[in-house]
Amino acid sequence: MGRLSVNLCGIELDNPVIPASGTFGYGYEFAEWYDINVLGTFSFKGTTLEPRFGNPTPRIAECTAGMINAVGLQNPGVKAVIEHELPEMAKVFRKPVMANVSGFSLDEYRETCRLLDAQPQVGWLEVNVSCPNVHGGGMAFGTDPDAVRRVTEAVKSVATKPVLLKLSPNVTDIVSIAKAAVDGGADGISLINTLLGMRIDLKTRRPVIANKMGGFSGSAVFPVALRMVYQVAHAVSVPVVGMGGVSSPENVIEMMLAGATAVQIGAANLVDPMACKRIIDGLPETMDRYGIATLNEIIGGVC
């Protein structure tokens, strides 16, 4: 293994940096800026069984040190992803990708995962039970340990690839949710998804976004994310993928010290399309500065 490499659920990554779902499209958009094969992998846009138009506009609100979004899982549906997006993705990215999956029932989660699991390009299934801006799905599953366990069991019944459950921070006890996922057979945990937030337009005295509330992300959420990664990583025996406000090599190292095996970059990609490459390029010098020989050796290094 190289100095930056890590092993995520049996698959070796050249480095732990992974663009987060919903912030990197299907990869080929960013391939116009740089060779995206420098990434460890990436989690492509959240996929549902059927096409979704998403929430009404406006969908975005600016915040201090962050943003609120309520896109609502807009995507072309799993059939179109398999027939069009994956072949286009294969032209610019030669490594296994992470398929992010959402659903509104156990059957939907199961069938979407079954179809994506069969695709050679897919290395991991990242099952989203944490979307805060979709009515009737997403976070409705992720706030109940029993529902998380049942979703995990449903997906694991058809999956041959590693399954990671992406968890919501909008809960009282994140550890109980993570343990429920592991009890259901999860091979790993991804966290955190966005916090639930809101902005009000003072001129109109109405919410800025049409959905009223949405997912709050950006550098402001990093301390919350780091705390939850630490708690979960020290409570379960499966790998943790940490995310939430990560925007620098130092943030990546901090996440790994807290217990993350790999680290996803989200909102930073929307501000700077070169963010992930910049972070990867900066890791060796940052490691030298803090006396770190390999990233693998620091995972969970804080007791």
Q: What are the tens digits of pLDDT across the range 196-236? A: 999 999 999 999 999 999 999 999 999 999 999 999 999 99
Answer yes or no: is pLDDT of 137 > 60.
Answer: no
For the chain, the farthest-separated pair of C-alpha atoms sits apart, in whole angstroms, at 56
Residue of 9, 113, 131, 276 marked catalytic = 131
Q: Which residues pair with 297 in a beta bridge?
A: none
Residues in the chain: 303
pLDDT at 139 over 60: no
Structure tokens at 115: 């179809």
Task: Specify the pTM.
Answer: 0.95
pLDDT-derived band of residue 80, with 50, 70 and 90 as boundaries? Answer: very high
> How much helix, strand and coil, in percent to the nearest 5, is found in the chain?
35, 20, 45
How far apart are alpha carbons 217 and 197 in whole angstroms? 9
Known catalytic membership, residue 131: yes
SS3 265: strand
**pLDDT tens digits for range 39-75:** 999 999 999 999 998 888 999 999 999 999 888 889 9
For the chain, domains (ranges, CATH) are: 6-297 (3.20.20.70)
Among 131-145, 170-184, 244-258, name the one with the lowest average pLDDT: 131-145
**Which phi and psi (to 5°) does residue 52 adopt?**
-130, 130
Per-residue confidence band for 135, with pLDDT thresholds at 50, 70 and 90: very low
3-class state of residue 92 by DSSP = coil
